Amino acid sequence: MLLHFIFVIKEEDIQKRKSEFEYIKKMAQFYKKWIGDNFGINYEIQCDELITKPRSIFQKLDTHTLVRDHEQRGKDIYHFYLTHFKPLWTDCTCEGYHAENFGMIFWQKPNQSDDVLFLAEKNCTTVSHEIIHEMLRIKGNKKYIHEVHDVWTKHFYEQLEFQQYGEDFESTEEKPMFLTMDISKFKN
């Protein structure tokens, strides 16, 4: 099985956002381990950039465009798009979208390109949200949407801490490189 992270980036931003793509490649390897450890599913990982050019207002990129791209690349591959735009429609409170073997989030750009904590807090957590939806769906949890949203709300309104992981992909109390939703809330 393949989990393919795709950084959707504007053509004019390629050089300016190289450090973010380097973080995405590390994050992808982190999620390979994290998914295996927590859900017993082993994915091969791939990372690419999808470079976009300016479009007219009638040809704006949105979820439907990426779903079409996903179908063309192969529906059996889990494609995860990290986009420079917010989806016009979403069923998640985190500016993301999920479907079978498909995930996308609005990837927020840090003010400083080397701000790993910002990337972990604003983006890595949101990636975990959408990945957990898909993992619970695969595992047959019929309440996978509602349960993920309940825990997400607790993270923001009840001070539930995100789980912290270091550069070695292990849990840490030090400054984290990766943050995820509290996975213990989904284990039976």
pLDDT digits (tens, 9 = 90+) for 9-53: 999 999 999 999 999 999 999 999 999 999 999 999 999 999 988
pLDDT tens for 128-177 read 999 999 999 999 999 999 999 999 999 999 999 999 999 999 999 999 99
Tokens of 158: 């009840």
Q: 80, 64, 91, 68: which is closest to 152 by C-alpha?
A: 91
Tokens of 84: 């420079």
44, β-bridge pairs = 2
Give the DSSP H/E element, type plus range, for residue 98.
Answer: strand 96-99
CATH of the domain at 114: 3.40.390
Q: Rounded CA gap, 137 and 185, in Å?
A: 15
Q: How many domains, in total, are found in the chain? A: 1
- DSSP-derived letter for residue 75 is T
Full-model pTM: 0.93
Which residues span the domain enclosing 135?
2-186
Q: What is the DSSP letter of 171?
A: B
Owner of token pair 């997400």:
152
